[in-house]
Structure 1
Amino acid sequence: MSTTERLIESTRELLWERGYVGTSPRAILERAGAGQGSMYHHFKGKPDLALAAVRRTAEELLASVAAVLGAPGTPYERIEAYLRRERDVLRGCPVGRLTMDPEIIASAELRAPVDETLGRVRELLAGIVEEGREQGQFDPSLDGERTAATILATVQGGYVLARASGSPAAFDDAVSGLLALLTAANGTPGPVPRTTTR
């Protein structure tokens, strides 16, 4: 791995663990195993490196979500696969957690990749909901954009509930509840089995 890559990956890890303020240039260099001055040789400074790290995190999340939502299956199955995909629930969403960092939210430049990524996930979900409506799988009264916002809010809120309780069960409950609502909207009532999410 090149020095540039090590710096970006180290910054991503530190932002996740400590937030922007706690991610000092010294800590980045130590984690990356890079010499003094390496950061300023490859980047303008900490904000520039942090932006590269946030963009990388956002790109990876979007790619993984797009792969799940673009897989074969009915609209309901693809939404279920997205909701039940393997996650480290107690660590939280790598992009969603960035919204809790006041320094990142205060910076329009650092916030932009976060907003764009969450917006793109919402667009993908909305398209699948609309597809399901057209196929008669979902109730015609469902609004694609609003339902997509609900799905995304359930995921992000599920992380918060799980972290607060110290158990993935809260996330699983939120997912199962939402899937039950989507099933009911299709006119096919029935319990949705609970899963254990890591």
Structure 2
Amino acid sequence: MSSATVETRPRQQNPVGWLWRRFREFRRTRPFWGGLLAMIAGAPILYFPYAHLSLGGLTIAMSTTAGAGSLIIGVLMIILGLTAWFQPAVRFFAGVATILLTLVSIPVSNLAGFGLALLPGLIGGGLMVSWAPLPEPATEPAKGRRARRAKQVDNPIAQRVAAEPAATEPAKAEAVEAPTAKLPAQGAPKEPAAEPAVPQQPTAGEQEEAR
């Protein structure tokens, strides 16, 4: 079988590559790392007041009277992280609220989850406040230019309109280069007109000879 008769198979799209591209676009268009750190900081604040640790045969319950406050702070920080992901327009408010809740959790929720939520909460709030979207490129993408050129090639009317200016340009150039008649300049001095010849009178000797 020759290579001319071989049928080309359609290119199969890699699902892993497609997911990675979608995730990269999602990550670049929002404060991703700030929201992630805010949710990570809310997890220990929410967990430790309701955790039960067992040391050998001894069970230690860490629940205190601040359990309700820790629950509210942890849930709010997770919600703020998700809000920064899916509503980037309110990222400034979400970042400031995350920083304030992290500071409030120090006296309320076991020293901000035994210090595990302190740094992630402060850093995540700062990243959300300082994040800004990328500026849009001013140039037209290559695909758009190619599509426009393809439309002009397929459209005979566009070809005719594009050819008319090119045809008129040589005619304009010839008209500019053509010599023009020289006209007398205004205000130039006129040449003096020729005076009529005055007949000379005969002298006295000539008159006597004529007599």
TM-score normalised according to structure 2 size: 0.29
The structure with the largest helix share of the pair is 1
**TM-score normalised by the chain length of structure 1:** 0.30
Structure index of larger Rg: 2
